[in-house]
Every structure is written in C-alpha cells, then in structure tokens.
Amino acid sequence: MLARTNIINDAIHQLFDAVGAISVQGYDEERKVVYWNEGSEALYGYSQAEALGQRIEDLIIPKPMRDIVVSAHTDWLNKGIEIPAAELTLRSKNNDDVHVFSSHVMFTNQNNEKEMYCIDINLADLKDAQAQAVFKESMLDVVLKATPDIFFLLADDGLILDYYASNKTKLYLPPNEIIGKNMVGILPPDVDKKFRLNIAKTVQNGGVTSFEYELDLPNGLTHFEARISHLSAYNQLVIIVRDITEQHKSAELIRQHAYFDALTSLPNRFLSLDRLSQMLKDAERNTEKTAVLFLDLDDFKKVNDSLGHEAGDKLLIEAARRLNLAVRKQDTVGRLGGDEFIVLLRTLNEDYNALDVAENLLTLFREPFKIDNRELILTLSIGIAISPENGTGASDLLRNADTAMYQAKEMGRNTYSFYTKEMNIIMLRRFEIEEQMHGALERSEFEVYFQPQLDVKSGRVTGAEALLRWHSPVLGNIRPDEFIPIAEQTGIIVPIGEFVIQQALQFLKLWENEHKGNYNMAVNVSPRQFRDNNLVSFIKESLHKEGISASRLEFEITEGVLMTGSSYIDATLTELHDLGIKLSMDDFGTGYSSLSYLRQYAFDVLKIDRSFINGITLNKEDCDLVKATIAMAHSLGLTVVAEGVEQEEQLTLLNKLDCDYVQGFFFSKPIPANEMIKFK
C-alpha cells in the first residue's frame, strides 16, 4: 500500500485499484511516483515496487518530451496552468511506444502538498483499428485506381452518393456533376430504361444483375456492361460499369467473318439465304411479292485468268459497289461465291419491280470498269424468280433464279430472263447431259464424223470438216449444238477437243495414203480450248506423231473466241498461224463485229454461215450480202467456204459469185470415217 495515505486518497486509491484496465499514477511535487495501480503495471511494465519513488520523466516519458513535461508540471504547481488531456505516445519498461489518452488532475493532500494523478487509457486497440481502416482505404484506393471499371454508389432510389472512375473520359456527365444526381433520368432514354428496370429488379430480388448498353461518348460509340448489387443492410446499390467496346469489336469481327464476304463486304451465301427466308416470311404475312435475282458476271473467269487475281478482285469489289447502287436500303445484295451475286428485292410494286431493277443493273454495268489504268467491259446475266409464283421457299427460289440465269446466258449473255416452268425441263435435261458426259470419252461414246468440202469450179473433194457425234447409251444421240455448250461450261471440251484433233489427224493420214493426195482438215475449236495452256504443244505433238504438215490443218473459230480481247488468245492465234495452221472464221455474218476481227487477225478462210446460203436463191438481200462478203474476203486475201449448200441452184449461184469451196447436204451429210474415205 501507499506510504503516505490519507482519507481522501484512500477512497480514490481503492477505486483505482479496482479498475485494472485503466492506468492511474500519482506523483508528488517532485514528480516522484506515489501511486501506481495494477493497470499501470500492465500498461508500462513496471511493477509497483519498481515504480514507487521514481520520477515520471525517468519512467515513462520519452526523452524528447521530458523537458516539456517537467516545465508543464512546474507551471501547473506554481502558476495553476492545467495540463490538458491529450493523446500521447509514452514509453514502457521495454522501451516500446505506448499510445494513451492521458487525463490529469491535481490534488492537495492533508499535508498541503500537491499530488498529480494521471489517468491513461490504452489506445493500442483503437490505433490498430484506425490503422486497419486507413490501410483498407488506401488499398481500396489503389485497387480502384488500377481498375478500368467505373464504380457508383447509389441510394436505393437511384441517387448517386459517390462514384469512382479512373478514366474520366468514360463518364457520360462532367465529373463534378455526377454526385447528387439520380442515375435514373440522366442517360439517353433507351439506356435509362435499362438502368431503371435493372435497379428495380436488383432492389427487389437481391443478387447481382448485369446488362449491356452503349453510349455515344466524345471518343466514339462505347459499349458497356453494368453489374448492379444491392447492399440491402445500407439501402444502397453498387454499380460497376465496364467498358466492353473491345470485346464487342472482336465479337463483331467474328460475326463479320461468319456472315459477310471478306472481299466485297457483302452478305455471304449463308446470310443472304437467311435474309431471303426472313423476307419470304414477312412477304407471306403481308401478301407481298419478293424477287430473287441471280447474277453471274459474263466471262469473268477469262478476265481473272488473263489479268490476274488482283485485277479480278478489284473488279468484283467495283461490281459489288454498282450492284448496291441499283437497290433500296431494305433490299439485299449478297455474294454467293466466285462471280455469282444475288439481289433480293422485298415488297415489289408497280414502281419498283424486278424488271426495272434488272434493266437498271445492266445499265450500271454498261459503264466500263477502270482497273489498273485499263478499261474493261463486264456484262451480267441475270435470272429472276418471283415469290410466290416461282416458289415460296428460299432454296426453291434460288434454284429457279439460277435456272433463269442459265437461260439468260443461253440467250447471249448481258441480259436477264424470268423463270418459267419450261426452263426447269431444260435445266433437268442439262443436268442429265452433264452427268452423262462425265466418262463418256473413256467409254468411247464419242465419234468424229466428216463432212466433205469441195472445190466449186472443179467439183473435186478438197477436204472435210470434222464434226463430233455423241452416242449416249442412256440419252441416245445428242446433237453437238446441245452438248458442246455444256462441255464448254464444264471444261470437258478440253479433253474432248483433243480427242477430235487426234481423230481428225489420224483419219487425214489414212485418207491421204488411200488417195495419194493432199486434203484439208477443218476442225472446230471452242473458246474454252484457248484457255488451255497445253493447246499449242498438244497440236505440235499430234502433227508430229502423224507426220502431217501443219498446212493441212484448219481451225474454225467463231468470233466468241475473239470477243474476250484477251492477250493470251492473240498470242495463241499468232502461234498457231506461225506453225502454218490455217485459221477460218466460222459462222461469218451472224456476229456483230466479225468484220473488224477479220482485219485484226491473220485469218485464211472465211466460212459464210448457212443461214445466208439458205436464202441466196430466194431473196436479193442475202444474195447481195453473200456477193459482197466474197468480194471483200478475196480483197483481204481470204478463201471463201459456203456451208449448208442443199440445192443445185445454190451451188450454181455460188459459182457465179466466185465462191471457192462448198459444203452441205447437197453433197453429203457428215459421215463416219469409213464412208468418208470412200467418198468421191
């Protein structure tokens, strides 16, 4: 117990002894410890025995504070200036910091001596908690700064209490105008609606609600994802907003790849057909008409082959652009692949119908395409199918439009054709022929016939034209007019053409040996064969193999070969001519520009089409035309063959008109080799 106790002090000491959680120390006028309770022992580490009689400044006051404490105590004793209660950092026996809230009182004891009592409350726990709070706050600050998301703290009614955005450019309002506004009512109507609905939903159901929206910000259209959670205990909401523009872009890119053509950016086949299905559904509901236009660029493959793929690509891009010019916004222009396009027209009416659009498309293509400083003319063949008349399903309409497109090609290209039921029959036949033609060569179904050609003046046989025949065991005999175009389109004409050349030369060899004389062999060559790089070397080899002079061989070509204007055709023709092979312009008079080609290329022979020969004895125009043609051909140094001579009068007239050679049923139909060899 204390050495100098008194009545008052006794009562107080008893009280302080009882509260071990608070440190109470008593000091005399010399600041020596006169009282030291259990709480002080616990807080400062000195036992009562150790503390009693020690001066405060030697016990628990850190060095820098000592003078202040001593003078403050002196001032209190002498001048009555109280030492105010304060938070202090004192020192323990172990030299550790001791955080306390220290209050002080001054008593006068019965000896009229002053005693100062210090009541110290340990602040360690409080300090810890405060430090924790400060740490958490700074951690949150770091996290928020490092996170690109925007955080909003809202009251349940949507009032924005606080927000955090590391990137202020993503905010819809100026940064200083956000707090105090209501989240509902500041955004554009469509976005606002989403917030309104989702806030209500989250308040009602709890959990996390998320949704996406987009805002037009100064930096461009920005896509966001918002997640709302409810802090129900505080009646508050946390909204975390994330910029997902990049994800959106990559998703859009993937979509673009899946649905759009990379070259032209037009809807691809998949999307086009999907749109067609949708259009047809809408059309059925509203009893409206829908049109499908199937487009194919004429001779695009030739352009691609001769000018290269890069030029071909440019052409396709420009073609796509032009196609889009001809339609309305609600219509669709798609690319089906290669040089095939599709145009879908919805809600047709008198002012806007498939015919007008088709004509408009053809007109738009009349303007030459300027590619790499070249001007190219590219035409279109268009097939049209209209729903509901030509079908109500997407695939039916597409197939029928495709069929009509073939018809347009057949009609000479650069035109359009509407689908009819009859076309389907034609198409079926086409497919059958195409199917049967595969392997027909290997199965020896082809045979070359020969039609004799005679000298008009002497009446002697001078040669023959090789004409192909196909005896199909399935389809019967098929006329070359029917199967040759199909063979051309499928490319089978290349091996078939080689077969004809081979057979013709083989026969020529036999024929010349049989009669010990020279004959001329005319062979028809298709445009497609000129795209075959092998053509010239194949001919050289074949001539060499049979030991036949190139001058015996004559190639009949139509102006279709020349119309492409491609450099490789020119080169091939020149090569053939240089070999010594004769070139014959077939079907002269049926085309538009044969005459200009005659001057341009090294032709040797001109064949007047049988449609003119047919009429020469009947009408004067045909006769005049043939007469003029022969004269002109001769002036250019060409010999003239008249084909399709069926009557003696025609022969007599042709003789008078100075025609050189004749060929026709009047002399002989095309006949097989064994008959031809005997023909005189």
Q: Which residues bind ligand C2E (CB under 6 A)?
A: 451, 466-468, 479-481, 484, 497, 500, 524-526, 556, 586-587, 610, 643-646, 664-665, 670
Instruction: Give me the count of residues in the chain.
Output: 680
Cβ proximity to Ca ion: between 224 and 588 the closer is: 588
Least separation in angstroms between residue 414's CB and ligand C2E is 21
Q: What is the DSSP letter of 83?
A: P
Residue 292 interacting entry, from Ca ion, ligand C2E, none, C-beta within 5 to 8 Å by type:
none
Least distance to ligand C2E from the beta carbon of 582, Å? Answer: 15
With CB under 5 to 8 Å by kind, the binding choice for 559 among Ca ion, ligand C2E, none is: none
Which residues share a beta bridge with 239?
152, 228
C-alpha distance from residue 101 to each of 23, 26, 38, 199, 550 (Å): 10, 16, 17, 47, 122
Cβ closest to Ca ion, residue 127 vs residue 469: 469
User: 361 or 645: whose CB is closer to ligand C2E?
Assistant: 645
CB nearer to ligand C2E: give 88 or 500.
500
d(CA 52, CA 68): 22
- By C-alpha distance, which of 380, 402, 354, 394 is closest to 271? 394
Residue 670 contacts which entry, Ca ion, ligand C2E, none (Cβ below 5-8 A, type-dependent): ligand C2E
Integer angstrom CA distances of residue 119 from 10, 19, 104? 17, 11, 6
| Cis, bond preceding 62 (omega within 30 deg of 0) | no
Identify residue 337 by its one-letter amino acid code: G
Picked from ligand C2E, Ca ion, none, the partner binding residue 492 (CB below 5 to 8 A depending on kind) is: none
Give the residue with the Cβ less far from ligand C2E, 505 or 645.
Answer: 645
Closest distance of CB 661 from Ca ion, Å? 13
Residue type, 64: P
Compute the least distance from the CB of residue 532 to ligand C2E, in Å. 12
Question: 41 or 587: whose CB is closer to Ca ion?
Answer: 587
Whichever of 557 and 569 has its CB closer to Ca ion, that residue is 557
Nearer to Ca ion, 74 or 611 (CB): 611
Label the pairing between strands 446-455 and 671-672.
antiparallel
**Shortest CB 644 distance to Ca ion, Å:** 8
- The binder of 26, among Ca ion, ligand C2E, none, by C-beta within 5 to 8 A per type, is none
Nearer to ligand C2E, 299 or 331 (CB): 299
**Smallest gap, in angstroms, from Cβ of residue 574 to ligand C2E?**
21
520 is in the binding site of which of ligand C2E, Ca ion, none (Cβ under 5 to 8 A by kind)? none
Q: Which does 468 bind (CB under 5 to 8 A by kind): ligand C2E, Ca ion, none?
A: ligand C2E
Residue 283 Cβ, how far from ligand C2E at the closest point, in Å? 44
Cβ closest to ligand C2E, residue 12 vs residue 441: 441
Residue nearest to Ca ion (CB): 556
CB half-sphere exposure, 332, CA atoms < 13 A: 26
Query: Which CB atom, from 20 or from 480, has the smaller least distance to ligand C2E?
Result: 480
**Cβ of residue 525: shortest distance to ligand C2E, in angstroms?**
6
Cβ distance to Ca ion smaller for residue 362 or 563: 563
Minimum distance from residue 306 beta carbon to Ca ion (Å): 25
Min dist. Cβ of residue 253 to ligand C2E (A): 48
Contact criterion met (CB below 8 Å) for 287 and 392:
no
User: Which among ligand C2E, Ca ion, none contacts residue 665 (Cβ within 5 to 8 A by kind)?
Assistant: ligand C2E
CA distance 617 to 651: 10
Query: What does 25 interact with, of Ca ion, ligand C2E, none (CB < 5 to 8 A by kind)?
Result: none
Query: Nearest approach, Cβ of 482 to ligand C2E (angstroms)?
Result: 9
Nearer to Ca ion among residue 149 and residue 586 (C-beta): 586
Distance of CA 571 to the CA centre of its chain: 39
Minimum distance, C-beta of residue 390 to ligand C2E, in the bound complex (Å): 32
Residues 397, 384: Cα–Cα separation, whole Å: 9
At residue 50, the 3 state secondary structure works out as helix
Neighbours of 85 (CB within 10 A): 14
- 334 makes contact, choosing from Ca ion, ligand C2E, none, with CB < 5 to 8 Å by partner type, with none
The 3-class secondary structure across 325-384, one letter per residue, is HCCCCCCEEEEEECCEEEEEECCCCCCCCHHHHHHHHHHHCCCCEEECCEEECCCEEEEE
Nearest to 104 by CA among 120, 124, 91: 120
The residues of the shown chain that bind Ca ion, judged by CB under 5 A, are 524, 556, 586-587
Which residue has tokens 């063959």?
641
* Alpha helices (H) in 83-123, listed in sequence order: none
CA distance readout (Å), 281 to 286, 336, 349, 664 = 9, 21, 18, 58
Please give the C-alpha separations between residue 283 and each of 9, 275, 278, 286, 583, in angstroms, as whole numbers. Answer: 105, 12, 9, 5, 56
Q: Which option in Ca ion, ligand C2E, none does residue 480 bind, with CB closer than 5 to 8 A by kind?
A: ligand C2E
In angstroms, the Cα distances linking 277 to 290, 291, 614 are: 11, 12, 52
Whether 554 and 591 have beta carbons less than 8 Å apart is answered as no
Helix/strand/coil (H, E, C) string of 265-331? CCECHHHHHHHHHHHHHHHHHCCCCEEEEEEEECCHHHHHHHHCHHHHHHHHHHHHHHHHHCCCCCC
Cβ closest to ligand C2E, residue 168 vs residue 669: 669
Distance of closest approach, residue 614 Cβ to ligand C2E, in angstroms: 8
Which does residue 312 bind out of ligand C2E, Ca ion, none, counting CB within 5 to 8 angstroms by kind?
none
The one of ligand C2E, Ca ion, none whose footprint includes residue 584, by CB under 5 to 8 A per kind, is: none
- Closest Cα to residue 484, out of 430, 532, 535? 430
Residue closest to 17 by CA, chosen among 44, 37, 32: 37
- Choose the contact partner of 500 out of ligand C2E, Ca ion, none; CB within 5 to 8 A by kind: ligand C2E
Question: Which H or E run includes 476?
Answer: strand 476-478
